[in-house]
Amino acid sequence: MGTNAIMENTTAGQGVKKMEASFLIDATKCIGCRGCQISCKSWNQNGTDRTTAGPTFTNPPKLNSKTYTNIAFFESEQNGAVSWNFARNGCFHCKKPACASVCPVEALVKTPEGPVIYRAERCIGCRYCMLACPFNVPKYEWEKLSPKIQKCTFCYDRLLAGMIPACAKTCPTGTIHFSDSIEKNLAEAKKRISENPGKYHNHIYGEKEAGGTSVLLLSALPLDQIGHAKVGDQVLPDLTWKYISGIPAIIGVVLAAGIGSWVITRRMKNMDKEDE
C-alpha cells in the first residue's frame, strides 16, 4: 500500500480515536538482545548488511538505509566492575519535525497520529532533511541510481491496522513501551525517576529536545554518554519561519526603495535637462 493511500485512509478514519503515538524507551531495562532491530527489519522487509567486527558490539555500527533502529553498546566501569549500557537509536518523531519543515515537496510529513512518514514518490533527493534532523535520523540509499530516504515509520501501517509497532511488540523486557499518548508516557517516565532514586540520570530525553518528541528516553547515564546527540530545546522550524515570515516585509522594502529611487533619480535627470 502506498503511503498516499495510507494518508487518505487516516483522514477518512479521523475522529474515530485520537491517537498520539509515543514510545517510552527505558535503557535501564534493555538487555541488548537486538530483537527490535530484527523485527523492524523483518516487518519493513529491509535487507541486511555485511559488517565486520568493530571495537564494540554495536552492529551495524550506525543506522543506515536498511536499518531504522539499532542498539548501541557502551561498556563502562562502575564501582570497579564492568557495566553495560544500551542505547536504542531511531527516529524521535518530533512534535515539530525539522525534516518535514525543510522538505520542499512535502515528501516527509507529520501525520495526525504522530508518526513522521515519507512519501518516496515525491522526494527529489535534496537530502536537506538529513542535514536538518538534529538526531541524524534520515538515511540515504547512496548506492542506488534512484535513491530514497529511509527512516523509521513508527510502523504507521501497523498502527492504522490497530497493532503496536513491531519493535515494541518484540521487546522481551518492556524497554520499548508504546502508548497512544505522549502525556501518559511522560507521566510514567517521571514516576519511574521519582520512585527509583539514583537509578536514572535525571533527564527525560525528548521531553524538551528540539521542542519535544514522541519518543522519550530514560537512561542511567547522561544520554550524550550513550551516543545521543546534544540537542537544544528550540523548535527548529521556528528558526526558519522567522525568516520566511519576514519575506513580505522584505518585498515591501525593496519595492518601495526601488521605485522611490527610480522616481527620484529620474526627477534629478529631468532637472538637469531643464538647467541646460
Choose the one of ligand SF4, other proteins, none that binds residue 24, judging by a C-beta under 5 to 8 angstroms depending on kind: none
Q: Is 87 in the site for other proteins (CB under 8 A)?
A: no
Rounded to whole angstroms, how far apart are CA atoms 18 and 183? Answer: 13
| Spatial separation of the C-alpha atoms in residues 174 and 166, rounded to whole Å | 13
- Give yes or no for residue 187 binding other proteins (CB under 8 A): no
Encode burial over 235-254: b for 16+ CB neighbours within 10 A, e otherwise: bbbeeeeeeeeeeeeeeeee
**Distance in angstroms (rounded) separating the CA atoms of residues 11 and 241:** 26
Q: Is 132 in the site for other proteins (CB under 8 A)?
A: yes
64 binds other proteins (CB under 8 A): yes
With respect to other proteins, which residue has the nearer C-beta, 44 or 181? 44
Q: Is 139 near other proteins (CB under 8 A)?
A: yes
The residues near 23 (Cβ < 8 Å, ≥ 6 apart) are 165, 168, 176, 177, 178, 179, 185, 214, 215, 216
* x/- map, 204-243, other proteins, by CB under 8 A: -------------------------xxxx-x-xx-xxxxx
Our CB check for other proteins shows the closer of 187 and 268 to be 268
Do 154 and 165 form a contact (C-beta atoms < 8 A)? yes
Query: C-beta of 207: minimal distance to other proteins in Å?
Result: 17
Contact residue for other proteins among 29, 122, 184, 203 (CB under 8 A): 122
* Contact map string, positions 95 to 114, toward other proteins, x by CB under 8 A: ---x--xxxxxx--------
228's contact among other proteins, ligand SF4, none, with CB below 5 to 8 A by partner kind, is: none
Report the C-alpha gap between 164 and 171 in whole angstroms.
12
- Point out which residues bind ligand SF4 (CB under 6 A): 40, 43-44, 68-69, 90-94, 97-99, 102-105, 107-108, 116, 123-129, 133, 135, 137-138, 149, 151-155, 165-167
Q: How far apart are CA 46 and CA 170, in angstroms?
A: 17
* Residue nearer to other proteins on the CB measure, 61 or 164: 61
Nearer to ligand SF4 by Cβ, of 55 and 133: the residue is 133
Cα(129)–Cα(136) distance, integer angstroms: 9
Phi first, then psi, for residue 223 (nearest 5°) are: -70, -25
For residue 194, give Cα distances in angstroms to 108, 187, 202: 37, 11, 9
Q: What letter represents residue 188's amino acid?
A: E
By CB under 8 A, tell whether 256 contacts other proteins: no
128: contact with other proteins by CB under 8 A:
yes
- Which residues make Cβ contacts (< 8 Å) with residue 162, sequence separation at least 6? none
Residue 145 binding other proteins, by CB under 8 A? yes
Residues lying near other proteins in the complex (CB under 8 A): 62-65, 98, 101-106, 122-128, 130-132, 134, 136, 139-140, 142-147, 229-232, 234, 236-237, 239-244, 247, 250-251, 254-255, 258-259, 261-262, 265-266, 268-269
